[in-house]
Amino acid sequence: MKRFIQIFILSIVVVIGAVFAVRNAELVQLDFYFFNFDIYLSLAIIIAIILGVVLGVMASIGWIVKAKSELGRLKRNVKNTEQELTNLRTIPIRDDH
């Protein structure tokens, strides 16, 4: 069932993308400082979206690495604390009164 839902959602995305490409089939001119070229509007928008996603992921890599290292440190801390608690529970209690 899960596989069917994934295929269904993927097919909807493909259909929407195809409709988007057909509806935005005009050529636009991209003009940079040293060069210019003609490209389809839908392709330009898709490239801009992909470039934005890549730049966003690259910008967040520092936070991801920091969070993973902190997660590892916290897991080690929990493991040490659980080991200490286990040791304290196994110590016999002496009552000298």
Structure confidence by residue, pLDDT tens digits, 46-97: 888 899 999 999 999 999 999 999 999 999 999 999 999 998 888 877 777 6
Q: Is residue 51 part of a domain?
A: yes
| pLDDT reported for residue 97 | 64
Domain boundaries, position 49: 2-90
Task: Determine, yes or no, domain membership for 97.
Answer: no
CA 12 to CA 9: how far, in whole Å? 5
The tokens for 60 are 């967040």
**Residue 22: is its pLDDT beyond 70?**
yes
Q: Is residue 27 part of a domain?
A: yes
Within a domain: 54: yes
> Which is more confident, 35 or 83?
83
What domain count does the chain have? 1
In a domain, 96, yes or no: no
Per-residue DSSP letter, 24: T
Residue 73 lies in a domain: yes
Q: How far apart are CA 49 and CA 47, in angstroms?
A: 5
- Model-level pTM greater than 0.85? no
Q: What is the pLDDT of residue 55?
A: 94
Query: For residues 95 and 18, what is the distance between their CA atoms, to the nearest angstrom?
Result: 80
Helix (H, G, I), strand (E, B) or coil at 96: coil
For residue 84, being part of any structural domain is answered with yes
